[in-house]
Amino acid sequence: MFLRQITDSSLAQNAYLIGCQRTGEAIIIDPERDLDRYFQIAAENDLRITAVADTHIHADYLSGARELVVRHGASAYLSEEGGPDWQFEWAMGNPQVHFLKHEDVFRVGNIELKALLTPGHTPEHMSFLVTDIGGGADEPMALLTGDFIFVGDVGRPDLLESAAGQAGVMEPSARMLYASLRQTADLPEHLQILPAHGAGSACGKALGAVPNSVLGYERKFNPALREALTAGEDQFVKSILSGQPEPPLYFARMKRDNKLGPALLPDGALPAPKRITAEELGDWMEDTAILDLRSDRAAFAEKHLRGALFAPMSGGKLSVAAGSYVDEDSRILLVVEDESRVGEAVRDLIRIGLDHVAAWIPADEALSDTRFIASYPRIAPAELPVDAAVLDVRRADEFAASQVKGATNIAYTRLAARLDEVPSGRPLFVHCAGGTRAAIASAFLASHGYEVVHIDGPYAEIPAGQRT
């Protein structure tokens, strides 16, 4: 048996390529839309991808399952559980799609996969037990857990309400998750835990940076799983729902598109943005989402294209900033420091359904034309004026723990939906815990005409007398 974890570091997302080396057949679990890297790994290992499975209807990226079925003739294995509102509608009636119920079994070559219904993160969520029949095994060696069990955490049950807007489902989902976790008590301790995400994903609040684990270890040292196995339901529900970060706005769109069917990439290829010059900038300053990919937030504040968003590629912030602030139909211009990263940026964007990446320009050239330059001031936290209008763009739990007196709190990932709550009419001082989130929010607010001042530095350095 061949098994490879394929990680997208920007979204902290894991796909899994599992192949039968005897027959050459392989399945990809939870793929993203840009399929070329999966095909390359398969070919390098004398495998061909004949099947695809999704553990659930994803919220944080667009699945590549439809692309594999329609363009490449793969068979798909998808959940039929969860009720009528949680079906993969794009796959209905497709003869290449096999819908799964709890404990259904299928094979790819001599690899057996058994579907287990593990709801809570989503109602239709499935995990897959993997058994290497061809290698002589008669019991599973791994559990592909999707967003059910992570290393050090479990999937968050609040997204259907906090991201998809389904009021009143958060607590019932948490109780469903509790029951699902308790049902794992009968699974063998030796099972490898192969999760769909690692540290940095917004699909949990305390995900570990270790790429995989073992169920016996997680039972001992994964706080959420341990609590589900040893504590009462009400205590688990309270714990799992507290401190969950506000999800980016694009999560609701991902749920919709993965359910209805992600758009197929034109000719199966990635967008190929053209290189433009400073002389052409005038044609791109209107009706365009300008994403500045530079990493230096101070340099951005001092000098950037008017209306540009600060979307640094490091730490997955490009996906978060673009997904939170850019409409899916927008034409996109990239301002880049490094031409070699244009392709990487295109991949990050199409993975969240931002397909209209039309052009790019080197930052030095873009900023050489003074006609289109803007800036906003930065100050150190210690310089925050008393009685200033303050916007805190941290998470709600961070704000609850300590806050600037009189500050308004809106997480930077939710600003676009709550602009009517942002104080206006005087300079707005924007802060977070360290400076990056406030820089991203400041650029967005400045693009909407707000007079912003970026508080750039540690929250703890704001004068103690101004904090509660």
pLDDT digits (tens, 9 = 90+) for 238-285: 999 998 999 999 999 999 999 999 999 998 899 999 999 999 999 999
| Domain finish residue from 228, 259, 290 | 259
Q: Where are the alpha helices (DSSP H) in 261-380?
A: 297-302, 317-325, 342-350, 363-366
Same domain, 179 and 328: no
- Cβ-contact 346, 270 below 8 angstroms: yes
Determine the average pLDDT of the residues in 136-143: 97
If asked whether residues 170 and 113 sit together in one domain, one would say: yes
Q: Give yes or no: residues 25 and 72 share one domain.
A: yes
Q: Do 40 and 143 fall into the same domain?
A: yes
Residue 31 tokens, joined: 């793929």
Question: Over pLDDT 70: what percentage of the chain?
Answer: 100
Q: CATH number for the domain including 460?
A: 3.40.250.10
Backbone angles phi, psi at 127, to 5 degrees: -115, 160
Rounded CA separation 16/144 (Å): 9
150 and 185 both lie in a single domain: yes
Q: Residue 293: its pLDDT value, please?
A: 98
Instruction: For residues 406 and 316, state if they share a domain.
Output: no
Catalytic annotation, pick one of 30, 60, 292, 348: 60
Q: What is the mean pLDDT of residues 375-404?
A: 97
In a domain, 265, yes or no: no
Q: Are residues 297 and 197 in the same domain?
A: no
46 is catalytic: no
CATH number of domain containing 159: 3.60.15.10
153-177 average pLDDT score? 92
Is a pLDDT exceeding 90 seen at residue 136? yes
Examine the pLDDT at 294 and tell me if it is beyond 90.
yes
The verdict on 350 and 315 lying in the same domain is yes
What's the rounded Cα separation, in Å, for the pair 227 and 233? 9
Residues in the chain: 468
What's residue 76's pLDDT?
Answer: 98
Position 20 confidence tier, pLDDT thresholds 50, 70, 90: very high
Give the pLDDT of residue 314: 84
For 211-242, what is each residue's pLDDT tens digit? 999 999 999 999 999 999 999 999 999 999 99
Residue 285 maps to a domain: yes
- Chain segment 296-311, per-residue pLDDT in tens: 999 999 999 999 999 9
Quote the domain boundaries for residue 362: 270-374
Predicted confidence at residue 206, as pLDDT, reads 81
Total tally of structural domains belonging to the chain? 3
Same domain as 390, residue 357: no
Examine the domain organization and report whether 161 and 296 are in the same domain: no
Among the three residues 317, 350, 374, which one is the final residue of a domain in this structure?
374
3-state helix, strand, coil in the chain (%, to 5): 35, 25, 40
Per-residue pLDDT, 316: 85
Claim to verify: residue 145 and residue 247 sit in the same structural domain = yes
- Average per-residue pLDDT in the chain? 96
Same domain, 170 and 284: no
The answer to the question of residue 45 being in a domain is yes
Q: Helix, strand or coil for residue 5?
A: strand
Q: Residue 16 pLDDT more than 90?
A: yes
Confidence at residue 317, expressed as pLDDT on a 0 to 100 scale = 94
Strand 373-374 relative to strand 289-292, pairing = unpaired
Q: Does some domain include residue 264?
A: no
What's the predicted TM-score (pTM) here?
0.95
Q: Which of 238, 259, 280 corresponds to the end of one domain?
A: 259
Reply yes or no on whether the pLDDT at 200 is more than 90.
Answer: no
pLDDT of residue 90: 98
